[in-house]
């Protein structure tokens, strides 16, 4: 008997706690959390300054704000999917996208390093000149020679090579197909896996021209 009462007490306490949690969630659904608080979520994976040190997670620092906001919108709408980001974005309200994009866009992109000079040299050739035999266009033609990009083409300098490889494979396999006019899918389908590894290794060594 005694044990039962004790359990009932615990259960009621648990119920109250659950109620509080639900209440907090409801408040957040209507009221957007402050940017600093939201940044703690993003910063856990992309680093507080947007220069992710986790190889599969992209550096967001210095990306064009409109590009960031559009990617967030595409994750939310299911036009771009990734098992991690697609889950995260369900917690974030569309009204937050602009402030998040502005914040990460304003951060300075950190430099990357490579200890594979041969791969880097091969990648540089592809990046600057393309691959003539298979009609791969020069990446520099759109993303700029220093990889700094523009409001139309995302910044690539210093980006984590594992992330770049994943994106090029995703474009090649049409897993990522949210690129306007399928321009990157057309580029990536012409690249083989060795070329993808090389060009990804090169972009991480690119530094924005002064």
Q: HSE (CB half, 13 Å, CA atoms) of 61?
A: 22
Q: What are phi and psi of 104, to 5 degrees?
A: -70, -35
Among 33, 73, 129, 142, binds ligand HEC (CB under 6 A): 142
Show contacts of 183-187: CB within 8 Å, 24+ apart: 183/142, 187/136, 187/137, 187/139
Among 37, 56, 128, 145, binds ligand HEC (CB under 6 A): 56
Site map (CB under 6 A) of ligand HEC, residues 155-194, x = contact: -x-------x-xxx---------xxx--xx--x---x---
Q: How many CB atoms lie within 10 A of CB 97?
A: 19
Length of the chain: 210
Considering beta carbons, is residue 8 or 166 the nearer one to ligand HEC? 166
By the criterion CB under 6 A, which residues form the site for ligand HEC?
A: 38, 41-42, 44-46, 56-58, 60, 63, 68, 71-72, 82, 84-85, 88, 92, 100, 126, 136-137, 139, 141-143, 153-154, 156, 164, 166-168, 178-180, 183-184, 187, 191, 199
């Amino acid at each position: 008997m005694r044990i039962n009462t004790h359990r009932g007490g615990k259960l009621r306490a648990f119920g109250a706690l659950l109620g509080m949690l639900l209440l907090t969630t409801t408040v957040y659904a209507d009221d957007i959390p402050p940017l600093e608080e939201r940044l703690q979520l993003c910063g856990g994976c992309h680093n507080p300054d947007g220069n992710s040190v986790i190889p599969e997670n992209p550096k967001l620092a210095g990306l064009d704000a409109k590009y960031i906001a559009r990617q967030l919108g595409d994750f939310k709408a299911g036009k771009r999917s990734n098992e991690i980001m697609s889950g995260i974005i369900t917690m974030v309200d569309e009204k937050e996208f602009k402030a998040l994009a502005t914040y990460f866009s304003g951060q300075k992109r950190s430099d990357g390093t490579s200890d594979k000079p041969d791969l880097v040299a091969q990648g540089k050739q592809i990046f600057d000149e393309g691959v003539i035999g298979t009609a791969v266009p020069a990446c520099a033609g759109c993303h700029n020679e220093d990889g700094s990009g523009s409001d139309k083409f995302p910044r690539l300098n210093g980006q984590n090579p594992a992330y770049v490889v994943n994106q090029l494979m995703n474009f090649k396999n049409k897993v990522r197909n949210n690129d306007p006019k399928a321009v990157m899918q057309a580029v990536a389908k012409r690249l083989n896996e060795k070329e993808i590894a090389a060009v990804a290794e090169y972009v991480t060594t690119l530094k924005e021209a002064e």
